Every structure is written in structure tokens, then in C-alpha cells.
Structure 1
Amino acid sequence: MDDSVDRHIARWRGKAPFDERVEAIATRMQFLVKYFAQAKDQALAAVGLQDFEYETLHRLGSRGEGGRVAPSELAAELKVSPAGMTGRLDTLERAGLVRRIRSEEDRRRVDVELTDEGRTLWLKAMELRGEVEDEMMGVLGPDDQDTLAALLKRMLLHMETRDHS
């Protein structure tokens, strides 16, 4: 059975120089990434989060229960300005999803942590997103998933470590 990429390649065959195998792989990866993004968007809409809110909660959630971080470190991870981070945190704090607290190491510093409500909302979004991701991956058995993961890792490592000069 043909998929949309088979039809795409058939339309372009003989009209432009390209390697059909590479085009098929690259285009299927692009389409699958779009499906992952749609799943994330749907999960966020279901729990009432915007993308910037989710990404901020996600970074905080990665620190585990009771994990705290300085706003400047969070801003660097998310690649936003300190002023942008302040705005994000103000919004999340007003919604009761994060709280600012004095650092235990340096009382002059303020850290940020997830509230219970923030953690619950973030985990619900993760669960909804994971259901779609599991469905997508479920068409492959565990051995095929391991093989795909290894192949993608090899490709990514090559791109991350190649000489960019």
C-alpha cells in the first residue's frame, strides 16, 4: 500500500535530481515529526497550556520532586532573555503552577520550583502526549524499535559531531 511519501516521490520522479531512498527517509521523518508536534499541541490544548508554559514546566519537571532552579539557568536552557523568563514565570506563578522561593544556598537568590498543581498539569500533558507517541511506535515491535533508535542515534551523533567549519 502506498503512503503519502510514495505519492510524493512518484510526482517528482524525473523532474528533479534526488536519491529516492534518501528522499523517502527524510520526508517520512519530517512527516512523523509533524505528527509528534500535533500530538503535543493536542495534549497541551486538552490541559489548557500554551507551548511556552509547557516547555517551562517540562524543564522544571526534569529536576524531579522538589527540584529548584535559578531563573537565569532556566532562561539559558530555554534560550530566552532574562526579561522573557521573568514574564513566563510571572504568568505561571499567577496561575499557581510555579513558585519563587529563596535559595537555600544563597538567600539573595530566588529559585523557581513546580507547585503540586504545576506538576500534576505537566504530568497530564506528558501522559496525553505519550499515548499518541506510544500508538505511533506501537506498530513496531521492541526489536524494531531498538533498531530504529540505534539508527537514528547514529545519524544524530554524526550530525552533532561533524566538523562545522
Structure 2
Amino acid sequence: MAMKTISFLSIISLLALTLSLVIASDPSPLQDFCIGVNTPANGVFVNGKFCKDPKLATADDFFFSGLHNARAVNNAVGSNVTAVNVNNLPGLNTLGISLVRIDYGVNGQNPPHTHPRATEGLIHFQANVGRSPAVAFAALSSQNPGVVTIANTVFGSNPPINPNVLARAFQLDPKVVIDLQNKF
């Protein structure tokens, strides 16, 4: 009995020592600021961008003009998405956020989509009831959220997905699926 207790205590002690060595985590991407630039210029590479020398920072690095202005809507889906991210607002680099403004035309929509590297919070400021344009703003939890439009991915994939597979999945006639694939 005493031998089993010693063996058990030895194993527990060994595990306790080992587990303290294998704790891992991602470093926090947040810092005071790291203004993104596209050229090294003695900068440090962080989150896909080089950091501008903090002594060269200006107010323009943290300013995006015109987000309050409506954008023209002239496409098939009836919406215009204006993205504000690290590419056009360099001060967002390493902060892990971005923003979009979505202008909707009459009966417009923002097609079903996903953001593979972010979650999205959407706020509609004006309802679109088929008579007037609407606007919405979305906050995203990434400086580079990406976007995958579902219809483009499913019906416009290259190589194309077998129409019989899609017809069965969406409970459609294969001819309808082929017609949809031809649109993309």
C-alpha cells in the first residue's frame, strides 16, 4: 500500500512540474499604437504592417473623412459597403477593430456572408421599407476581417461544385443550379 502511495505521489509531482512548463497563450495584439505603413523605413513588422516611427505620427493617421456621407448604390445587390480598416486608417493597426458603412438602395440587400477572422455587430439607423434608402454601420472584431459571400462561394466556385450535389443540398432542380452557376 505504501509503495502505491509513493508511486502515485511521484506521478502527481512529475505532472505538476511538467504542466507548469507547457502553459501557452497568444500575446495580446493591443498596444498604445502602431501606425501601419507599407514600407519598412526602419520599422517593426506587426500584424501584417510595418509600424511608423511614433515620432512621425500625425492626426491624419487616426482620421477617416466622409463616413457620414451617403454612397451611391449602383450594383445588382443594391448596397454599397464602405470599409474602414488598417488599409485606409493606419492608426487602427494592432487594435483589432474595423468598421463598415452599408448604404442600401430601395429594396437593396447586403448578401449573406461571413467574416472568417471576425465577429460583426450591426446597427441599422434607418429602415429600408421599399420606399427610401437605408444605412447601417457594422463594427468588426478584426483589423482584417475578410469577407466570404455565400452565393459567390457556393455557385461561383472554381472548380465548380457538381450541380447534382447543390441541387440535392438546396432541394432545387439541377437546371436551376446550372443557371445560377452560369451567373457567376
Q: Which structure has more helix as a fraction of its residues?
A: 1
Which structure has the larger Rg? Answer: 2
Q: Which structure has more strand as a fraction of its residues?
A: 2
The answer to whether TM tops 0.5 is no
TM interval, shorter chain, is under 0.3
TM-score by length of 1: 0.21
TM-score by length of 2: 0.20
